[in-house]
Structure 1
């Protein structure tokens, strides 16, 4: 069900009609949900994030968090691939590529021809570039959905609850492609998550008393370990990807977010290869060592029970 123009950005107050992708999350019976945008979040990174209210009987009263993997406005996604900001003209080229079938053929080449991106990337037109970004956005969605499906036991405790996987169809009147296989390439995939009202771990010194800093960082490191115990390797572990929430009793709880750059351990990945991959990414150090250095500027020394493990941490890049 279409509800959004391909040529317009999101606006506060806008109501989006989202089709529910079955077999994921808490919403299983509804085929669509309507979401009114309450707040847009900036900057936009690998996805477009917003706080929304779900409308209709049976919907939760509290706001939820919507992440749309929208190649058009995901600034970091475009920047990471050296691609210029989105334009209406580029979108017209993309729609034409979808309409003619050129987009599907391009994706087949991208996925089956060795070194296709490296060999042809410099010659891509706007339609092909947007098709490439669509593929990248879908990969981010698939990665994040897979991780949440793998973590049902810690949802709502260490990571947000997955409310639903959804897609937003772009409205294209008079194109004649709304019911064809190509229509999927005009879908913006996304996830609805429990909204955690809190602050980033990277700003703990601004929002929590010093007496709580050690406990909060310890929670973040423990979450990294638990997620890893589920056979997940996250390439994007950093303080900004943790949200700290203070409950009514004054206790602080930490949640890990953003799994678009995570992967599961391969079924044939040996213990040695998996250990090497984990060591190379050094997820614990990306939190522990970075926060140790950051809080040292505030005259605070973080301590870790396993000091030998701390000395092995190879992190240290403060960003």
Structure 2
């Protein structure tokens, strides 16, 4: 989805150090610009002219507010490509590019949040994040200062893993499955979890999950559940709900099961992979909560006596 560049950083005391620069740029990325049937809508001068005019007229804030209102009230989120069907072609192109800009910002903020929350796993199960950057895709002198942010291209500088994709490997699927579970245990559910997003270090054979731009975070989910009144249901527990959601998303199986099927199809060999036992995790969560409640009750009784 994002543009990924190999960046060479000069080193006074040795050879250059190579990092990965991941850019969230609405102009590029076939997946980002996909429309129906996986046909990308290419970035063109016409698109850019429509977008710049839209920005110059001060239309983006209102357009994005309206889009948010629709997403808050409609069952399915509005996709950028839907604006390409608008009767006014120029305005449709402008709204399409504006929505892609919003999507890029959301993915950037999501990935930054995920890396920060996975600080203890950086350099182990996910790459190290070294810096955030912001570039401009246009000459700033040509646009009003208040509109400059709409032409920002956000990016993150990451550790480069010299290895190969999990799609080419069969021996370390279990490690990748366990890595996905570790991320889930830290309150992060990945919406885009697949073998293509796992890179294996060529020296240590350690898998790293490299795309965290589309995630759901436990604390944000819990806030939404309380806002929607889920806590009013008898016996409802946010920790149990979280693990039920994790089980539904099944990040570990999204990596492991796909690879097992591929290997079996190609070689006829079935690889045994262990997956998290979500029923046991939920049962353990309920048991711990019950024990905690009993302990609190005893503590209260002791104080009153």
User: Per the shorter chain, which TM-score range?
Assistant: 0.7 to 0.9
Among 96, 104, 111, the alignment partner of 2:61 is 104
Among 227, 234, 241, the alignment partner of 2:190 is 234
User: Quick check: 1:139 aligned with 2:106?
Assistant: yes
1:257 match: 210
1:34 match: none
Q: 1:281 deviation in Å?
A: 1.4
Once residues 306 and 289 of structure 1 are traced to their aligned partners in structure 2, the CA distance between those partners, rounded to angstroms, is 9
Aligned length: 249
User: Quick check: 1:127 aligned with 2:94?
Assistant: yes
Among 247, 258, 270, the alignment partner of 1:301 is 270
Provide structure 1 residue ranges, at least 5 long, that are not aligned to the other structure: 1-45, 206-212, 310-319
1:29 match: none
Q: Which has the higher helix share?
A: 2
Among 25, 28, 41, the alignment partner of 1:73 is 28
Q: 1:83 deviation in Å?
A: 6.2
Contact residue 166 and residue 195 of structure 2 kept, 8 A: yes
Q: 1:295 deviation in Å?
A: 1.9
1:191 match: 156
1:49 match: 4
1:164 match: 131
Provide structure 2 residue ranges, at least 5 long, that are not aligned to the other structure: 226-237, 279-305
Superposed CA RMSD in Å reads 2.7
Contact residue 147 and residue 263 of structure 1 kept, 8 A: no
Q: 1:176 deviation in Å?
A: 4.0
Once residues 215 and 24 of structure 2 are traced to their aligned partners in structure 1, the CA distance between those partners, rounded to angstroms, is 15
Q: 1:58 deviation in Å?
A: 9.8
Contact residue 104 and residue 182 of structure 1 kept, 8 A: no
| Greater C-alpha radius of gyration | 2
